[in-house]
């Protein structure tokens, strides 16, 4: 049974200044777009996002984050509790536990990625998969999205999940296609589209972000629905706390250290 790591790094983070009405924050952007009657640039959309979200002003105040939630895979009848730790240094650990007590984990230590399955088997991830995990471990991702892309352009306005969205399409630094959808009216992130075949997945995939709730002035998409081919899973966020991740929480597990020593990668 495969459980996808929690969608975090603030890749699933959709933030918003809770104290300021959204219409006031976005009205200037809408006026600009309507006045020019043309598509904005990708950088303008990304900058708009971090401004209306409050990430630019608030996210950098924090050096780590803990997210607790749940993971469900209806097809496999999986319902797990999850906890994710991320730090400013690009280190992350995600853990899950099933009702029967079985558990597993995944992480990125700044250099390599790793997974521990329900059976205790350790897998070490390098190359392009490690680059993907490094991006997902970046809690400041939205502040420098273009750092991870060779190209990213606005290709149109499309309806996605019932919402008019700016559609961004590009190629990341490890040559994989990636699409992003931001709601036209308020600038919030609606979805990503990508392909998982290169890393052993089913092919066409997406992640849809919904149910925004504020945590310390930052609004998270507390429901992320993922599709990978015909498979579907749902991740929920129940709580978010800041600057409380001890070094011990993101240390390499003994089993991973042993695997790295065995393969002479550590």
Q: Domain 22-263 carries which CATH code?
A: 2.50.20.10
Per residue in 233-257, pLDDT (tens digit) is: 999 999 999 999 999 999 999 999 9
Q: Which residues lie across from 191 on neighbouring strands?
A: 181, 208
Q: Residue for token digits 């803990």?
A: 66
In this structure, what token pair is assigned to residue 110? 């700044």
- Distance (Å, rounded) from C-alpha 111 to C-alpha 123? 14
- Distance (Å, rounded) from C-alpha 237 to C-alpha 240? 8
The values of phi and psi at residue 243, to 5°, are 55, 40
pLDDT for the residue numbered 57: 85
CA distances from 250 to 77, 85, 92, 190, 257 (A): 29, 7, 6, 30, 13
Mean pLDDT of 167-173: 98
Q: 13 versus 144: which is more confidently predicted? A: 144
pLDDT for the residue numbered 37: 58
Give the percent of the chain with pLDDT over 70: 85
CA angle 167, 234, 95 (to 5 degrees): 115
Is a pLDDT exceeding 90 seen at residue 7?
A: no
In this structure, what token pair is assigned to residue 7? 């969608």
Give the percent of the chain with pLDDT over 90: 77
Is a pLDDT exceeding 80 seen at residue 22?
A: no
Mean pLDDT of 22-42: 52
pLDDT for the residue numbered 220: 87
pLDDT classification of 265: cutoffs 50, 70, 90: low
Per residue in 42-100, pLDDT (tens digit) is: 999 999 988 888 888 889 999 999 999 999 999 999 999 999 999 999 999 999 999 99
Give the contacts of 152 (CB within 8 A, at least 6 positions apart).
42, 145, 146, 168, 169, 170, 178, 180
Domain coordinates in residue numbering, the chain:
22-263
Q: Which residues lie across from 115 on neighbouring strands?
A: 106, 123
Mean pLDDT of 135-152: 97
pLDDT for the residue numbered 51: 86
- Distance (Å, rounded) from C-alpha 200 to C-alpha 57? 38
pLDDT for the residue numbered 56: 85
């Amino acid at each position: 049974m495969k459980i996808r790591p929690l969608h975090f790094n603030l890749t699933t983070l959709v933030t918003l200044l809770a104290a300021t009405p959204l219409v006031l924050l976005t009205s200037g952007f809408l006026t600009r777009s309507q006045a020019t009657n043309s598509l904005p640039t990708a950088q303008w959309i990304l900058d708009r996002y971090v401004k209306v979200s409050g990430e630019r002003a608030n996210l950098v105040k924090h050096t780590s984050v803990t997210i607790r939630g749940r993971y469900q895979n209806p097809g496999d009848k999986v319902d797990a509790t999850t906890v994710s730790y991320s730090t400013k240094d690009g280190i992350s650990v995600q853990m899950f536990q099933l009702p029967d007590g079985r558990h597993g984990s995944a992480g990125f230590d700044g250099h390599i990625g790793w997974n521990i399955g329900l059976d205790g088997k350790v897998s070490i991830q390098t190359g392009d998969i490690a680059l993907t995990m490094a991006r997902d471990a970046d809690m400041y991702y939205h502040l420098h999205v273009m750092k991870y892309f060779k190209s990213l352009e606005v290709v149109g306005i499309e309806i996605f999940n019932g919402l008019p969205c700016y559609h961004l399409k590009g190629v990341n630094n490890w040559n994989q296609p990636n699409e992003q959808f931001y709601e036209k009216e308020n600038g919030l992130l609606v979805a990503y589209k990508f392909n998982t075949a290169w890393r052993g997945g089913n092919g066409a995939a997406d992640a849809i972000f919904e149910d925004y709730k504020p945590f310390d002035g930052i609004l998270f998409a507390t429901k992320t629905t993922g599709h990978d081919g015909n498979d579907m899973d749902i991740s929920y966020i129940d709580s978010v706390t800041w600057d409380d991740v001890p070094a011990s929480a993101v240390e390499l597990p003994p089993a991973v250290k042993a695997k790295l020593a065995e393969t002479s990668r550590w």
